[in-house]
Chains A and B, each alone.
Chain A
Amino acid sequence: MKQATMHAGSVRKKDGFVKTFKKNFPLTLMALPALVVMILFRYLPMSGLLLAFKRFSVRKGIFGSEWVGLKNFEFLFQTSDAWIITRNTICYNALFIFLDLVLAVAMAIGLSELLNKRRAKLYQTIFMAPYFLSWVVVSFMAFSLFSIDDGLFNHLLAYFGMEGVDWYSEPSKWPFILTFFQIWKTIGYSTVMYISSLTGISNDYYEAAIIDGATKWQQIKSITLPCLRPMMIVLTILAIGRIFYADFGLFFQLPRDSGPLYQATQVIDTYVYRALKETGNVGMAAAASLYQSIVGFVLVVGANLVVRRIEPDSALF
C-alpha cells in the first residue's frame, strides 16, 4: 500500500491540471452523484452561516439582512453559566468518547470470540435495541425508576431501610446517570461498527499466529487491535469533531428539565434551546451553531494533524 501512495504522490507533482484531470476522470465520475448532492443539500445552505452576523428579516432575505457584527454571539459568553456550559459539554463528551471506544471495542471482540455464534448474533441484535427508543420514551421509563414516591430505586432503598433520594434535585448523582444512559443507548451501535470491521480481518493472520504458538490474548493484542486501529482512529476523530454538540434528548428529556440539576445537566444545546425558546432569534441560533462548528473544526484539524504525524495512513485528510 505504501508503494501505491508514493507512486500517486509523484504522479500528482509531475502532471499538469488537464492531464491529471483526464487521468482521474473515471473516479471523478464515480464521485459525481455524491458531489452534486453535497453541493445542493450541504453547500448551498451554507449561506445561512452569514445569519450568525446578521439580524434576520424575512423581507430582506439572508443576503439583504442588516449586519450586526458579533452581537449574536454575546449570549453564549455573557452568562454566569458560561463556564458550566462549556465544562459540562466538553467533559461529558470526552468521557463518552473514551468509554464508547473502550467498551465498544471490548464488546465487539468479546462477541466475535463467543463459541456459540448464533447466540453472539442474538446478543448483538438485542444490544442495538435501546438505540431505537426515543429519549422521550426513555425519560418516562427513567422516571419510573427515579420518581420520589413511586420510583423503583426509592422502593428498593426503603426495602433496605435506607432513606429515599430526591433524584431530580440532586445534581451529584447525574453524571453517573447520564453516562450510564448514554452508553446504554449507543454502545450497540458502535459495537456493530467494530464487529463489521472485525469480519474484514483476513484469517491468514490468525493462522500464521497460531502456527507461531500465539495465545488468544496475544492474537488480540498483536492482530485484532492493530487491524481495528484505523476504524478506532477514524471514529474517534469524527467524535472529537462533535465534542461541542451535546445530545439534547439526553440532557434535556432525561433529567425532565429539572432546574436544581442544571449544574450537572446544563450543556450548550440545552442552554441555547431555553435561551431562544421565547425569542426564536434566527441569528443567535446560527451563532451558537457556528460556535460549535468552529470548536469542532479546530479540534478535528488538530487531531488529524497529530494522527498524520504518527500514522499517516489513518489520517482523514
Chain B
Amino acid sequence: MKNLYKRAAALALAATMTAGVLAGCNGSNTTASTGGGEVSTPASGDAADPASQPSSEPQEITQLIWYMSINPVAADTEKVIEKLNEYTREKIGVEIDYKVIANPDYKEKMPNLINAGEYFDICFTSNWTTDYLQFVGKDAFMDITELLPQYAQDTYKFIPEAMWNAVKVNGSIYGVPSYKEMGWQGGLVYNSDMAEAYGLDMTAVTSLEDYTDVLKTVSEKSKAEGKDVVGVSGLTNAWPMAAPYESLTGTPSLPAAGAVPEFKNFADVADQGVFNQYTSEEYMNYCQTVRGWNQSGYLGGDPVNYDSDTANRDNDFNNGALFSYFIQYAPGTAESMSASSGHGVGFAPLMQPLFETRSAMGGLLALSSASEHPEKALEFINLLNTDEYVGTLIRHGIEGEHYTAVGENQVDKTMGGTLTDNGYDYTYGWQFGTPFNQKWDISYPENIEELFMDYNESAIISPNNGFTFDTVPVETQVAALTNTIAEYAPSLETGSVDPADYIPKFLEALNANGAEALITEVKTQLDAFNASK
C-alpha cells in the first residue's frame, strides 16, 4: 500500500513525461530500469565462442527476461527455474527472469505488453497466439539472420533448412521455430474395436467418398444393436483434409490457394496458379458428400454445435457413441488415445503430411527488437534446443522430484501417484523448443523419435514454402472476407445447407468483398518472391 501512495504523489511529475513515453517506449533508458540492467553487461565480447567458455572464472551474469506461454502453469515452476539458472549461470553466464503465463491468458496479455513496448528479451510467438507475422510487421522482433549461425550454431544446423526458410519474412529470420513434426496430416481417428466388430476395413479408406460406405455400415449396424452411433464429427476442420492445398496467405480459410502437385487435385483451377479454392469442383464435391452424410443422419442432429463442444465429443467417443472424428495427426496420437479412451483407436490418413510456410509457425521463440542481450538470448535458446539436461528439466522438472527416469529416453511422471499431484509437468514440451532433446513420457511408444523422423521424411514440402504473405495491402479485403467466410463456410462444410443453392451465394459474397483483389495481391507478391529466389 505504501507504494501506492508514493506513486500517487509521483503522478504529477510523471505526467510531464507522457509525451516521451508515448513517442517510443523502447528507448534504452526505459529498459535500464525494467531490464535488470544492473547485473548485466553487453556481452558481445566474451560471448563470441560460447561453447568453450571457461566456467570456473567468475563472470558477469546476464539476466534475460523470458515471456513464455504454456499450459497450465506448473506449481513448482520457481524451483525448476532455480535449478535451470544454476546450470545456465555456469554454462553460459545467463540467468532467466522467467515470466510464464497460461496459454489463454498469454493471448490476452502478451500482445498488449509488446505493443506497449514493455522490455523483454525472449518471448513465445506463433500463429495461434501473439501472432508471429503480425509482430514482425510491427517491428517488435529482432532480425536474427546474422546472429543465428554465430550464437546458436548447433540449433541452426539441427533444424532443417525448410523450416528456416518458412519462418523467413522478406529473407530475414525473426524467430527460432519449434522443430517437431513437420507439417500437418489430416485424417480420421476411429474406434478400432467398433470397426472390427462391424467388419470394416479402415485401411481401404483413402478419401471422403470411400468413407460414405463406412458411415452407412456404422449407422445401420449400430441401429440394429439399438444404439445410434454418430458416424463422424469434426467437419469444421475437414475440408482442407479432403482436398489438401497450399494456403498462400497463411490462413487456410482465405480464398488464395495453390495446388500441390503430389496430391493431384484441383485440376480445373490449378493452372491459375493462385486460385479461390471455393470455386473448385473439389469444394462442391466435398460439400455435397457431407450434405449427403448429414441428410442420412450420420452426423448427429446439429453438426456445427456438436463440433464446437469438444468435451462432449470426447465423451461420446470414449463411450462408443461416436465412431470417428477428423484430426490433424501427430505420431503417437492413436496409441495414447487408445490408452485414455478405454477402447482401441486407429488412424486413417486422408493425405500425406504437408509442410507449408504456416506449418513452421506453430511455435517460435523470438527476440525483442529492443533486447540488449541478443547474443546471450540466442545462446540460451540454443541450450533449449540442443542441451538434453535443459530440455528435460524445462519439460519434465527435476529428476527424483517430478519424474523418475525409465531407461535412456523415457520418464515416468506419476511417481507412484497420479498425474495431477505432480508439481511440474508440461505436455506441450515442444513449445520450449523441440521435443528431440527432451525425454519422453512413458505413454508414448518407445520408438517415438523414429516415428517423428519417418513422418517428417514422408512430408511433402509445398511448392511455395518460404513465401509469407504480407496482408497490409489488402487488409480491408481480408477483414471483410474473414466475416464472409465465418458466415457461410461452417454451415456448408458440415452439410447443414444445400451446396447447390448456397455455394453460389457464398461465391458471390466472396467476390463482393474483394476475393479477386486478394488473389491478385497474392500473385503479385508470389511473383516477386519467386523472382528473388
Residues of A participating in the B interface, judged by any CB pair closer than 8 Å: 36, 39-40, 44, 47, 55-64, 71, 74-75, 78-81, 143, 147-149, 168-169, 256-260, 262, 266, 271, 274-282, 284
Contact of A148 with B302 in the complex, beta carbons under 8 Å: yes
Contact of A280 with B22 in the complex, beta carbons under 8 Å: no
Contact of B134 with A279 in the complex, beta carbons under 8 Å: yes
B213 at the interface (CB under 8 A from A): no
Q: With a CB–CB cut-off of 8 A, which chain B residues contact A75? A: 475-476, 479-480
Contact of A169 with B491 in the complex, beta carbons under 8 Å: yes
Known: A168-B305, A259-B489; 14 extra A-B contacts, CB below 8 A, are A40-B11, A58-B138, A58-B140, A59-B370, A61-B24, A79-B479, A79-B480, A80-B513, A81-B484, A148-B305, A169-B491, A259-B486, A259-B488, A282-B115
B284 at the interface (CB under 8 A from A): no
Query: With the chains together, A81 CA to B476 CA distance in Å?
Result: 13
Within 8 A of A (CB), among B490-505: 490-491, 496-497
Contact of B305 with A61 in the complex, beta carbons under 8 Å: no
Query: With the chains together, A39 CA to B12 CA distance in Å?
Result: 10
Contact of B369 with A262 in the complex, beta carbons under 8 Å: no
B281 at the interface (CB under 8 A from A): no
Contact of B22 with A63 in the complex, beta carbons under 8 Å: yes
Contact of A61 with B134 in the complex, beta carbons under 8 Å: no
Distance (whole angstroms) from the CB of A81 to the closest CB of chain B: 6
Contact of A277 with B22 in the complex, beta carbons under 8 Å: no
Q: With a CB–CB cut-off of 8 A, which chain A residues contact B308? A: 256
Q: With a CB–CB cut-off of 8 A, which chain B residues contact A62? A: 22-23
Query: With the chains together, A257 CA to B486 CA distance in Å?
Result: 8
Contact of B25 with A61 in the complex, beta carbons under 8 Å: yes
Q: With a CB–CB cut-off of 8 A, which chain A residues contact B35? A: none
Query: With the chains together, A169 CA to B138 CA distance in Å?
Result: 39
Q: With a CB–CB cut-off of 8 A, which chain B residues contact A71? A: 476
Contact of A274 with B486 in the complex, beta carbons under 8 Å: yes
Contact of B24 with A79 in the complex, beta carbons under 8 Å: no
Secondary structure type dominating chain A contacts: helix
Contact of A280 with B111 in the complex, beta carbons under 8 Å: yes
Residues of B participating in the A interface, judged by any CB pair closer than 8 Å: 11-12, 15, 18-19, 22-26, 111, 114-115, 117, 131, 134-135, 138-140, 251, 300-302, 304-305, 308, 369-370, 471-472, 475-480, 482-484, 486-491, 496-497, 509, 512-514
The answer to whether A168 and B483 touch (CB under 8 A), given A59-B139, A63-B22, A282-B115, is no
Query: With the chains together, A128 CA to B509 CA distance in Å?
Result: 42
Query: With the chains together, A64 CA to B513 CA distance in Å?
Result: 32
The answer to whether A275 and B514 touch (CB under 8 A), given A58-B138, A61-B117, is no
Contact of A278 with B22 in the complex, beta carbons under 8 Å: no
The answer to whether A79 and B302 touch (CB under 8 A), given A47-B22, A64-B24, A259-B490, is no
Partner of B479, one of A143, A258, A266, A275: A275
Contact of A79 with B25 in the complex, beta carbons under 8 Å: no
Listed by A's residue number, 27 A-B pairs whose Cβ atoms lie within 8 Å are A36-B11, A40-B11, A55-B472, A56-B138, A57-B138, A58-B114, A58-B115, A58-B369, A59-B26, A60-B139, A61-B23, A61-B117, A63-B19, A63-B22, A64-B24, A78-B476, A81-B480, A148-B301, A149-B300, A169-B496, A256-B308, A258-B304, A258-B490, A259-B488, A274-B482, A275-B482, A275-B483
Q: With a CB–CB cut-off of 8 A, which chain A residues contact B12? A: 36
| Beta-carbon nearest neighbor of B27 in chain A | A61
Q: With a CB–CB cut-off of 8 A, which chain A residues contact B483? A: 79, 81, 262, 266, 271, 274-275
Query: With the chains together, A282 CA to B117 CA distance in Å?
Result: 14
Query: With the chains together, A276 CA to B486 CA distance in Å?
Result: 13
Contact of B302 with A80 in the complex, beta carbons under 8 Å: no
Q: With a CB–CB cut-off of 8 A, which chain A residues contact B251? A: 278
Query: With the chains together, A79 CA to B140 CA distance in Å?
Result: 30
Q: With a CB–CB cut-off of 8 A, which chain A residues contact B15? A: 39-40, 44
- The 10 A-B pairs at the shortest CB distance, nearest first, are namely A275-B479, A61-B24, A79-B480, A75-B479, A149-B301, A59-B139, A80-B512, A58-B140, A74-B476, A63-B23
Contact of B301 with A275 in the complex, beta carbons under 8 Å: no
Distance (whole angstroms) from the CB of B195 to the closest CB of chain A: 26
Partner of A59, one of B11, B24, B300: B24
Distance (whole angstroms) from the CB of B238 to the closest CB of chain A: 16
Query: With the chains together, A143 CA to B305 CA distance in Å?
Result: 9
Q: With a CB–CB cut-off of 8 A, which chain B residues contact A81? A: 480, 483-484
Distance (whole angstroms) from the CB of B401 to the closest CB of chain A: 38
Contact of A278 with B482 in the complex, beta carbons under 8 Å: yes
Q: With a CB–CB cut-off of 8 A, which chain A residues contact B513? A: 78-80
Partner of A279, one of B300, B302, B478, B509: B478
